[in-house]
Amino acid sequence: MIFKKIKEDILYAGMNDGGRLIFDELIPLDKGTSYNSYVVKGSDKTAVIDTMYPKFTQEYLKSFDENGITKVDYIIANHGEQDHSGSIPAMLEKFPDAIVVTNATCAGNIKEMLFVPAEKIKIIKNDEEISLGNKTLQFKIAPGVHWPDTMFTYIKEDNVICTCDFLGAHYIFDDVFAVPSKELEKSAKKYFAEIMMPFSTMCRKYVQMVRDLKVEMVLPSHGPVHKNPDYILDLYADWAGEKGKNLVALPYVSMYNSTKDMIDYLADKLDKKGISTVKYDMVNGNLGDLAIALVDTTTIVMGTSMVLTGPHPAAFNTAYLASVLRPKAKIASFIGSFGWGGNLFGKMAEMLAPLKLDIIEPIQVKGQAKPEDYAKLDNMADEIYKKHKELGLF
């Protein structure tokens, strides 16, 4: 556990989970994550903003004793997901006079998921405030970043905001304050891709809201505290923006290298035209690398071998993930190789349909690509170049 002063009478009370290798059983973590909780000590009342991942509840509770926090009046639930709300029942046992403060949607969640009794919950509305004496907590209901129940807690006199998952990162640290680095940016981007990208419109709205508040610090519930809010706000504004970069993502799976040869050929052609590419091995790659590429990519060209009568299952997995993460990509196509028959691309195109992509004519070959297939790949590269140019990416 780390207990550390953030500002006068505002304490970080969270911990690093360096052993966590994957989050949501989906995206591998580079170096684990942190679960952040904050203690705000007013002249009359004490509040705890978000709690702890249940696995570490006992350690978390003990740290209150070790740091002389003997009274908690309010437990603020910014969000009902258990990595932040999971220790609320144990906190209510330890501090029986405390009440949970949250919005109506989150109240429903913690009642149903954690069996928090209704009489222990105070439901607040947007912009409602509670006083701790010399400090005031104001609640900013922020549905969509990333659950419908999400809200932020703004500590008015200190001009700092606790944004829960929003503006977070799966990152661990010795000092709780962010030190900008490529490593932090990569972790935050991967986190954004998995957790926030499907809600980019809402991200843009709340980036502006936090900017308008001109806060001194951003206190998220994963990753470091930002003393320079513009650092993380600028990154989120870029990632959540509507326009992609001059980038083509090339996820592929290839049984006999026929598909990979075509992906390599296309990547080379695109590189020569000044278009960046990211190749991603759908079987052996790290899903986080694909997620990061999807944040920026304008075009996705998927390569797959045929397995029996359809695409390789890894290609289905990627197409599904892309459809639910809702990247800003505008263009797509498919490349693949088959042995004896089947429908290689139909189901993938169906999966990607919600993204409303502009589909370039796919290329399907029997076995290895022939000269006429390479000519088609040349045409595909030309077509991508033309479309990127039309989108103003050069």
Q: Which residues bind ligand FEO (CB under 6 A)?
A: 79, 81, 83-84, 146-147, 165, 221-222
Give least dist CB 245 to ligand FEO, A: 27
Which one, of 326, 336, 261, lies nearest residue 297 by Cα?
A: 326
Closer to ligand FEO by CB, 79 or 376: give it.
79
CB 302 within 8 A of CB 334: yes
Closer to ligand FEO by CB, 190 or 222: give it.
222
Give least dist CB 25 to ligand FEO, A: 14
CB 330 within 8 A of CB 357: yes
Tokens for 21? 């290798």
Q: Sign of dihedral through CA atoms 366, 367, 373, 379?
A: positive
| Stated length of the chain | 394
Give least dist CB 82 to ligand FEO, A: 8
Closer to ligand FEO by CB, 144 or 339: give it.
144
The three-state (H, E, C) secondary structure of 343-359, written as one string? CCCHHHHHHHHHHCCEE
Measured distance CA(225)–CA(38) in Å, rounded: 11
SS3 76: strand
Closer to ligand FEO by CB, 84 or 376: give it.
84
Give least dist CB 116 to ligand FEO, A: 17
Closer to ligand FEO by CB, 20 or 79: give it.
79
CB 283 within 8 A of CB 394: no
Closer to ligand FEO by CB, 81 or 373: give it.
81
Measured distance CA(168)–CA(188) in Å, rounded: 7
Report the chain's C-alpha Rg in angstroms.
24
Closer to ligand FEO by CB, 273 or 326: give it.
326
Measured distance CA(40)–CA(70) in Å, rounded: 13
Measured distance CA(152)–CA(139) in Å, rounded: 6
Closer to ligand FEO by CB, 9 or 81: give it.
81
Pairing of strands 22-23, 27-28: antiparallel
CB 103 within 8 A of CB 125: yes
Closer to ligand FEO by CB, 135 or 146: give it.
146
- State the angle between helix axes of 287-296 and 313-325 in degrees (0 to 180), rounded to the nearest 10: 40
- Residue in the shown chain whose Cβ atom is closest to ligand FEO: 81
Cis upstream peptide for 146 (omega within 30°): yes
Kindly state the DSSP code that residue 266 receives in the 8-state scheme: H
Closer to ligand FEO by CB, 24 or 212: give it.
24
Beta bridge partners of 244: none
Task: Find the distance separating the first CA and the last CA of the chain, reported in whole Å.
Answer: 49
Q: Is 178 left (phi over 0), alpha (psi -120 to 50) or beta?
A: beta
Measured distance CA(26)–CA(67) in Å, rounded: 36
